[in-house]
Structure formats: C-alpha cells, structure tokens
C-alpha cells in the first residue's frame, strides 16, 4: 500500500506540482477523487482543518495546505536544498511562485472574461524575476544545483500559464529552457503523457 | 554589529511577527526604514527580487518574502518543531495564518469601509480552526510543546485583529489564553511596550 494518499477534486489545481514531484521521485500516490456533490454534503469539509482540500496523508501524518505538502515532500525526497541557506532561498522562490499562482487563481475563478487581457499583458512583469534568477543560476534550477519543490511548483504554474497564453514564454529564454528541460525528465515526461494526468482539467470551473 | 538587517517601511505590516520572534530570542535587528518617497524613486524596488519589501539580510544571505524570513529564523532559533513531522504541521498552521492575513490585508487596503462589517461577522469562522488546534494541543502552542514561527505569526495577526475588532479573539478561550500568555513572555512584553514598536502604525494606509 502506498504511503501517500491525496484527497482532492478531479482537477490539477493546487496538486499538479506535488504529483509531478512524486512522479519524478518514483513515488506512488493513492488518490481519493472527490466530486462536487460529495463535497457539498459537508462531512468531508468538516474534517478538514481549514475547511478545504487538498488533504494529504503520509502514514499517520495528515496535512492540509498544498505548499505544506510540497515542503514535506521536499524534505523527504531531497528537494529542499543542500543546506539551510539554500532552503531559505527555495522558500523565497516558492513564495514568489505562490504569489503568482494566487493572481492566476483569482483570474480563473473571479474575473476570467474581464481580466484575461490585462493579466496576459502584465504577465511578463511577474515572470521576469524567475527569468532573472534562472538566467543567473546556470544550473537550470532556481536554487543551487539540484531540483527543489519550488522548481516543480514553478514548472506546474508555467504549464498552466502556457495554456492561458501560449506565447508568454517566447521572450523569456531561461524560463523556456527550464520548462523544456523539466518536461524532458523521463518520469515527468511519462506523467505528463499519461491519460490519468492528461484527462484532469486544470481548474474546477473549466476555464484555463 | 547585528547580523540581521531589515529594510522595510515604517509600519508593523508583514514584519510584526519576525520582530516579535527576534525579540523573544534576544536578537538585535538593524532596521533600515524606507519612506514612501524613497520607495517611489524606484532604485530599491529595482533591487528587490519580486519588486517588494521587506528585505532581510543575514550576513551575505539576502531574503525577500516575509514568510521565508520567518522560516529562516525559525530554523536558526529552534522555532520550527523538534522533528520533520512537527515542521510540516507548523508549515500547515503558518499557511493557515497567512491565508487569514491575506484576507485582512485585502480588507485594509482594498475594501475597508465597504467590507469591514462583513469581515468582522465572518471572522469567527476563520478563527475557529486555530481555536480548535490550541484547545486540543494542551501545551499552549500550535504544534508540539515549544513556540514556533507559526505561533509568532498567529500572535501578531491576532494583535492586529483585536485592534480591528476588540472583542473578536476573546470569544475564543484558547485564543485569548494564547494571546495573553505570548504577550506575557518577558522579552515579548518588553518589545510590545517599547516606544519604537508602539509608534509603528500597523498598516501603510493608516487603517486598522
């Protein structure tokens, strides 16, 4: 029985990054997919610390908050830097990814029709910090010389942004290279090409 | 010369928690206070990875993102749990604090007059998870039996919420006790009573 269980809706949403990280590390994930009808009954929600999914179980440890799950798996699978300074820089980069993810989520769920054009126009300004960090750190990762949970998180977000705006990375060579190289990692490639992953909509409202 | 330097506006804002953590650990903090006029010149902003303050320096390590700073100091000062499981639970609680802090920030900066009543009415729903956790974990801390960066972050946020709604946290006995006990820690008490701390407005637009 796999040690890791994820309870979430049948979307990529806030769990794309952790699925990619687990696949890349050859880890199995048992998934409990929750329908909207199940969720509206309320029992499951009442059992969630902050009333929200996803929920992640690692043996007896039960976690909520998707970034907590990324950090937990980062610790367990050597994806949190090789020392405390790298860990802090990875935290900083992940927090930056999360800030942009929040803007993306707000667009998707609250203002897609009215806000899409402005979001796409403003997107290069939000991508520039990551382009600069990747261009400076020749390893091809955000921090140090090995992949971290922040890389998986950025990669997942960039995949979503490319669907929203296919040309968004064209003038950002380090980011484009980052996406290509991460997608070419054999186990990541296998996940991205598998039906289970491909069939999941990115977001819960069908917009992308 | 203190090893820690903070560059930020002259407000409590996103740095209240880290100042409290540092004070409680007897650590000095060198503060560079930035005026709005200085910020508008643009040089400092251009040097910030995500174009935002605060900026934190620990020797050669330069960090942005306030929660990255809290995690960094948590690691350095034994405020990140005593094992990896506790660290993950602390991450989860801090992410929950951060979610509520974002709602508070949105109210203060975007919809104070129109949204204050609804925010206060809804606040108990957002405080309940923390009340439940504190009531269950008899130590008086969110996780385990020692203070963590998530406790300092929650404490700082609760102080701000008490200014907005003086009676709100008090309707929750575990939260009330948590605030009272944390405020009574001698070095925390000294900070809270110091002129330097008291004179800082909570937010940059004067609303609270």
Decide if A148 contacts A90 (C-beta within 8 A): yes
Q: Are A88 and B75 a contacting pair at CB < 8 A?
A: yes
CA B195, CA A183: separation in Å to the nearest integer?
54
pLDDT value of residue A165? 97
* Whether A99 and B50 lie within 8 Å, measured CB to CB: yes
What band does B67 get if pLDDT is binned at 50, 70 and 90? very high
pLDDT value at residue B34: 97
User: Stretch B48-75: mean pLDDT, rounded?
Assistant: 98
User: Could you give the residue range(s) of every CATH 1.20.1050.10 domain in chain A?
Assistant: 84-185
Q: In this complex, is the C-beta atom of B124 within 8 Å of any C-beta atom belonging to chain A? A: no
Nearest to A24 by CA among A153, A189, A176: A189
Residues of chain A with CATH 3.40.30.10: 4-79+192-199
**Mean pLDDT across A6-13:** 97
Q: What angle do CA B59, B62, B67 make, to 5 degrees?
A: 115
- % of chain A at pLDDT higher than 90: 98
Q: Is B135 on the interface with A (CB under 8 A)?
A: no
The full DSSP string for A19-64 is: HHHHHHTT---EEEEE-HHHHHHSHHHHTSTTS-S-EEEETTEEEE
Instruction: Answer yes or no: do B91 and A133 touch at CB < 8 A.
Output: no
A3 pLDDT above the threshold of 90: no
Confidence of residue A104 (pLDDT cuts 50, 70, 90): very high
- Determine whether the interchain pair A92/B129 forms a contact, defined as Cβ–Cβ distance below 8 Å: no
Predicted pLDDT at B178: 97
Q: What is the pLDDT of residue B1?
A: 55
- Which CATH fold topology does A84-185 show? Glutathione S-transferase Yfyf (Class Pi); Chain A, domain 2 (1.20.1050)
* CA atoms of A148 and A113, how far apart (whole Å): 34
Could you tell me how many residues make up chain A?
208
**Contacts with A, B 151-190, CB within 8 Å:** none
Radius of gyration for chain A, computed over Cα atoms and rounded to the nearest angstrom: 17
Asked if B65 lies within 8 A of A129 by C-beta distance, the reply is no
Mean pLDDT of chain B: 96
| ipTM of predicted assembly, 2 dp | 0.96
Cβ distance A65 to B92 less than 8 Å, yes or no, reads yes
Which residues in chain B have their CB less than 8 angstroms from residue A96's CB? 49-50, 64-65
When CB atoms are compared, the residue of A68, A76, A92 closest to B95 is A68
The DSSP letter of residue B172 is S
Contact between chains at A96 and B67 (C-beta distance less than 8 A) = no
Asked if the model's pLDDT at residue A160 lies above 60, the reply is yes
Mean pLDDT, residues A45-54: 97
- By the CB < 8 Å criterion, does B67 face chain A? yes
Q: Do B63 and A129 touch (CB under 8 A)?
A: no
Average pLDDT over residues A131-157: 97
Please give the CATH number for the structural domain made up of A4-79+192-199.
3.40.30.10
Q: CB–CB of A96 and B50 under 8 A?
A: yes
What does the mean pLDDT of chain A come to? 97
B46–A contact, CB cutoff 8 A: no
* pLDDT tens column, A164-196: 999 999 999 999 999 999 999 999 999 999 999
pLDDT tens, residue by residue, B73-109: 999 999 999 999 999 999 999 999 999 999 999 999 9
Q: Collect all residues with Cβ–Cβ distance below 8 Å to B138 and sequence separation of at least 6.
A: none
Spell out which residues of chain B touch residue A64, defining contact as CB-CB under 8 Å: 92, 96
Residue of chain A nearest B62, judged by CA positions: A89
**Overall average pLDDT of the A147-169 stretch:** 97
Strand order in the sheet with B61-64: B30-34, B4-9, B55-58, B61-64
pLDDT(B23) > 70: yes
Task: Using a CB–CB cutoff of 8 Å, tell me whether B96 touches chain A.
Answer: yes
Cβ–Cβ below 8 Å for B129 and A51: yes
Residue B19 near chain A (CB below 8 Å) = no
**Angstrom distances, CA of residue A5 to CA of A19, A32, A69:** 11, 7, 11
Give yes or no for A55 touching B (CB within 8 A): no
**C-alpha distance from residue A155 to each of A31, B15, B43 (Å):** 22, 30, 30
If you average pLDDT over residues A146-165, what whole number do you get? 98
What is the average pLDDT across A49-70?
97
Q: Which of residues 71-90 of A touch B (CB under 8 A)?
A: 71-72, 75-76, 84-85, 87-89
* pTM for the full predicted model: 0.97
Mean pLDDT score, B26-31? 96
Task: Name the strand (E) or helix (H) holding B63.
Answer: strand B61-64
pLDDT band at A128 (very low <50, low <70, confident <90, very high): very high
Say if residue B65's pLDDT is above 80.
yes
| Predicted confidence (pLDDT) at residue B10 exceeds the cutoff of 70 | yes
- Cβ distance B49 to A96 less than 8 Å, yes or no, reads yes
Asked whether the predicted pLDDT for residue B125 surpasses 80, the reply is yes
Distance from CA of B60 to the nearest CA of A (A): 10
């Amino acid at each position: 029985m796999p040690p890791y269980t994820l309870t979430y809706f049948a979307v990529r949403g806030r769990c794309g990054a952790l699925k990619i990280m687990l696949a890349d590390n050859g880890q199995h994930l048992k998934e409990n997919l929750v329908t909207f009808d199940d969720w509206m009954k309320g029992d499951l929600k009442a059992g969630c610390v902050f009333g929200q999914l996803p929920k992640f179980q690692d043996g007896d440890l039960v976690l909520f908050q998707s970034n907590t799950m990324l950090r937990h798996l980062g610790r367990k699978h050597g994806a949190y830097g090789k020392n405390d300074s790298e860990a802090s820089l990875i935290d900083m980069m992940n927090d930056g990814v999360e800030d942009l993810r929040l803007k993306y989520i707000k667009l998707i769920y609250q203002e897609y029709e009215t806000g899409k054009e402005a979001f796409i126009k403003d997107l290069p300004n939000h991508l520039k910090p990551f382009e600069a960090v990747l261009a400076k750190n020749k390893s091809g990762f955000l921090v140090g010389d090995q992949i971290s949970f922040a890389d998986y998180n950025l990669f997942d977000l960039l995949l979503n942004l490319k669907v929203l705006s296919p040309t968004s990375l064209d003038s950002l060579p380090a980011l484009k290279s980052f996406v290509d190289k991460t997608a070419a990692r054999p186990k990541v490639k296998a996940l991205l090409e598998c039906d289970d992953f491909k069939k999941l909509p990115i977001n819960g409202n069908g917009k992308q």
